[in-house]
Amino acid sequence: MNILNGLAIILGCQLAGEVLVQLAGLPVPGPVVGMVLLLGGLIWFGEPPTGLRTVSETLLRYLALLFVPAGVGMMAHFQLIARDWLAISVALVVSTALTLIATMLALRAMLAMRRRRGRS
């Protein structure tokens, strides 16, 4: 039953994200808003429930398989990709660099918070 509860939490957050995007007209995908809601819940409650942890670890284990349909879809539009390869390449490099920088800054902030908590 714990696994079903974990899956229900993930799907509920995704549904809530979709509803918020539709109601507010946000230019962000619903699953992204759902992930932010899930993150907020995890921060608020602290430790994730056992079922959520189990489902998350299972989904992460098979994450690579979820990219197969996207890769097949890209090959269906290969002419468009070939035409705009430079813009796509620049966007990929810049977004990857920005993601690495944001991850580094977030990790530094979290480590600093952890050190402060340990001292007080």
pLDDT at 73: 86
In three-state form (DSSP H/G/I as H, E/B as E, the rest C), the secondary structure along the chain is CHHHHHHHHHHHHHHHHHHHHHHHCCCCCHHHHHHHHHHHHHHHHCCCCHHHHHHHHHHHHCHHHHCHHHHHHHHHCHHHHHHCHHHHHHHHHHHHHHHHHHHHHHHHHHHHHHHHHHHC
pLDDT at 1: 63
Record the pTM.
0.63
| In the chain, domain spans | 1-66, 68-120
Using the structure block, give the residue that is written with the tokens 């349909």. 69
pLDDT digits (tens, 9 = 90+) for 82-95: 999 999 999 999 99
